[in-house]
Structure 1
Amino acid sequence: MEEDHLEQTRSLIAKDFDLVKTSSLIEAELLEAIANRVAEMIEENKDLLLSYMYRLDIDEGKILFALSPLANEPAHVALGRLILERQKQRAITKLTYKTPKLDDWAF
């Protein structure tokens, strides 16, 4: 992942999941931080976690599979991976389609 995409992804994840000190994390460490936060949310407030995932527009089928016994990894890691992948997609979109500042528009 390119550095500016990674930086944007870190920023989105830090904001959405109340994580601090994400600015220097590599992708694997970021996944671990997300997975740990997801594990906390599964225990404390699963509805809030699912609400976040819905707001991030993560495919419901993927979420259900990640929570099923058929998943290849623990639920918190699988959900963390889905979140990271979606946030990477959002970061790429934000960097690709930047909105011009209003003061740059000519009326």
Structure 2
Amino acid sequence: MSATELELIHTLAGDFGLELNDRVSREQIIAALTWRVDQLIAGNPDQLFSMLYRLDISERKIKAAMATETEVTKKIAVLIYERQLEKIISRKHFRSEAPEDDLAW
């Protein structure tokens, strides 16, 4: 398992209160996220939408997922998974090893 995948697992586990081990598959992560999204929709939809906003998931994508008649929570879980993965990859790609001398404090 790559460092990116491990970071993704730990990030999602922390953000969504999931118990995920380091050897979990993509499908298992999405199943756990689906369960958590379902809980949030039933118990605290405002918290879910706040989390989706903080994750910067496109409103258009969320509306498209919610407009379907089947697997709405799974589609939202996939959006969460994909967005978190994008963010981790982006951070790793744009992270510099050391600050430039004129930018170092």
Give the whole-Å Cα distance in 2 for the aligned partners of 1:30 and 1:47.
23
* Cα separation, partners in 2 of 1:43 and 1:72, compared to 1, 3 Å: closer
From the superposition, tell whether residues 81 and 73 of structure 1 become closer, same or farther in structure 2 (CA, over 3 Å). farther
Partner in structure 1 of residue 53 of structure 2: 54
Q: Match of 2:19, SS?
A: coil
Q: Scaled by the length of structure 2, what TM-score is found?
A: 0.84
Following superposition, the deviation at residue 75 of structure 1 comes to 1.1
Partner SS state of residue 29, structure 1: helix
Segments of 4+ moved more than 6 angstroms? none
**How much has 1:4 moved relative to structure 2?**
1.8
Q: What is residue 83 of structure 1 aligned with on the other side? A: 80
Distance 1:36 1:17 in 2: 10
Amino acid at match of 2:32: A
Instruction: Please report the RMSD computed on the Cα atoms of aligned residues, expressed in angstroms.
Output: 2.3
Shift of 1:36: 0.7
Shift of 1:99: 5.6
Deviation at 1:79, TM superposition (A): 0.3
Indicate the larger mover: 76-85 or 18-27: 18-27
Q: Distance in 2 between matches of 1:75 and 1:42?
A: 10
Is 1:12 aligned to residue 11 of structure 2? yes
Q: Take 2:73 and 2:104, find their aligned partners in 1: how far apart are those partners?
A: 49
Query: Which residue is 2:65 aligned to?
Result: 66
Q: List alignment gaps of at least 5 residues for structure 1.
A: none
